């Protein structure tokens, strides 16, 4: 293969991530011609309804998968946190790149920290996971929906619609908005989405040539961590409809997994953590999911 065509969404973050993968692939394979195939997805076009209401995160993948099926593209680049726990049949993840900062960011033009927000201040986020954790820490806040790409969300903050918003540090850093981060919302008090900060390359299951080309970008440590996080989410039937948060970190040869299930309605949260050998990430994910279920996570998930 001399040309590799990578499908991407058109948002600035998606294009940045795809350009990043393209340049890593060019560096790894001198002589390989790498081209971007920008596509628009339903998830990007429908901005007036919540993701949960229009069919979930899979919406961001569908058009890119159709392009791969048609042979218009060889692979697609995604934020792994937007990839459903179970891929569509016929597709596989060829690589998971080394994770950037996994944390969420508290972003505001007037306040440095969540604790500084005045009583009843308005915070923008459409993520049920972020809403649940905000409610748990600050039950007084008024939470308002905020959709759109990272640039749009920052513009709405600047327009004065919200006192603060919550975004992923990774996306802000990639787009050059590092200076917007007021506080990193970090573990153990605040947990990210499963696989937040990790970029992945999806391709056709039977395309061994593309898998071989892209496989060199896989990062073993990140791969282990996100397998534990995604196994926990799968065991809870997690999707974007439920506020599930997870963070796995390697401590030498040991893998620590912290998990949380919450209620976006009243901020009730259950938490669990466990550790295991780094060779059994999926089993660890199931262990933590079971511990969350034992504390009543099912009732929170089912609303």
Ligand X SMILES: NCc1[nH]cc(CCC(=O)O)c1CC(=O)O
Q: What are phi and psi of 123, to 5 degrees?
A: -120, 135
Nearest to 225 by CA among 263, 270, 202, 191: 191
Distance set, CA 58 to CA 54, 63, 179 (Å) = 10, 10, 31
The residue (of 167 and 264) whose beta carbon lies closer to ligand X is 167
Binding site for ligand X (CB under 6 A): 79, 81-82, 150, 167-168, 170-171, 196-197
Q: Which residues pair with 276 in a beta bridge?
A: 255
Token pair 């007021």 is found at 182
In the bound state with ligand X, the residue whose beta carbon lies nearer, of 244 and 291, is 244
Shortest spacing between CB 98 and ligand X, in angstroms: 12
Q: Which of 74, 82, 101, 104 is catalytic?
A: 82
User: Helices 12-28 and 150-158, interaxial angle, to 10°?
Assistant: 140
Sign of CA dihedral 193, 204, 24, 6: negative
* Alpha-carbon separation of residue 9 from 52, 64, 160, 274 (angstroms): 19, 8, 28, 36
Q: Classify residue 152 by burial, with Cβ atoms within 10 Å: 0-12, 13-18, 19+.
A: middle
* Nearer Cβ to ligand X (174/204): 174
- Pairing assessment for the beta strands 122-124 and 142-144 based on DSSP bridges: parallel
CB 37 within 8 A of CB 72: yes
* Beta carbon nearer to ligand X, 60 or 91: 60
CB of 79 to ligand X, least distance (A): 3
- Any catalytic annotation for residue 82? yes
Shortest Cβ distance from residue 163 to ligand X (Å)?
Answer: 18
Q: Exposed/middle/buried for 272, CB within 10 Å: 0-12, 13-18, 19+? A: buried
Neighbours of 42 (CB within 10 A): 13
Report the residue number, 210 or 222, with the smaller CB distance to ligand X: 222
Q: How far is the CB of 194 from ligand X (least distance, A)?
A: 10
Return d(Cα 159, Cα 218) in angstroms, integer: 40
> Of 6 and 274, which CB lies nearer to ligand X in the complex structure?
6
Q: Is the peptide bond before 188 cis (omega within 30 degrees of 0)?
A: yes
What's the closest the beta carbon of residue 13 comes to ligand X, in angstroms? 6
Shortest distance (Å) from residue 265 CB to ligand X: 21
Phi first, then psi, for residue 142 (nearest 5°) are: -100, 120
The residues annotated as belonging to the active site are: 82
């Amino acid at each position: 293969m001399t040309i590799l065509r990578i499908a991407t969404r058109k948002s600035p973050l998606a294009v940045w991530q795809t350009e990043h993968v393209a340049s890593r692939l060019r560096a790894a394979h001198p002589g390989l011609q790498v081209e971007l195939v920008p596509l628009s997805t339903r998830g990007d076009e429908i901005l007036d309804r919540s993701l949960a209401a229009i069919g979930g995160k899979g919406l961001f993948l569908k058009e890119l998968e159709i392009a791969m099926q048609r042979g218009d593209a060889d692979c697609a680049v995604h934020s792994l946190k937007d990839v459903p726990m179970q891929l569509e049949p016929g597709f596989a993840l060829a690589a998971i790149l080394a994770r950037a900062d996994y944390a969420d960011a508290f972003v505001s033009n007037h306040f440095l920290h969540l604790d500084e927000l005045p009583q009843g201040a308005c915070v923008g986020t459409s993520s049920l996971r972020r809403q649940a954790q905000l409610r748990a820490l600050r039950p007084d806040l008024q939470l308002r929906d905020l959709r759109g790409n990272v640039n749009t969300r920052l513009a709405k903050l600047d327009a004065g619609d919200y006192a603060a918003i919550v975004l992923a540090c990774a996306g802000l850093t990639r787009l050059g908005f590092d200076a917007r981060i007021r506080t990193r919302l970090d573990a153990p008090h605040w947990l990210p989405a499963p696989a937040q900060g990790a970029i992945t390359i999806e391709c056709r299951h039977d395309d061994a040539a593309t898998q071989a080309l892209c496989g060199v970008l896989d990062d073993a440590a990140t791969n282990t961590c996100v397998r534990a996080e995604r196994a926990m989410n799968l065991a809870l039937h997690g999707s974007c409809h439920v506020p599930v948060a997870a963070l796995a970190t390697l401590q030498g040869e040991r893998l620590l997994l912290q998990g949380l299930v919450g209620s976006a309605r009243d901020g009730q949260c259950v938490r669990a953590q466990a550790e295991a050998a780094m060779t059994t990430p999926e089993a660890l994910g199931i262990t933590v999911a079971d511990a969350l279920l034992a504390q009543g996570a099912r009732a929170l998930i089912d609303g």
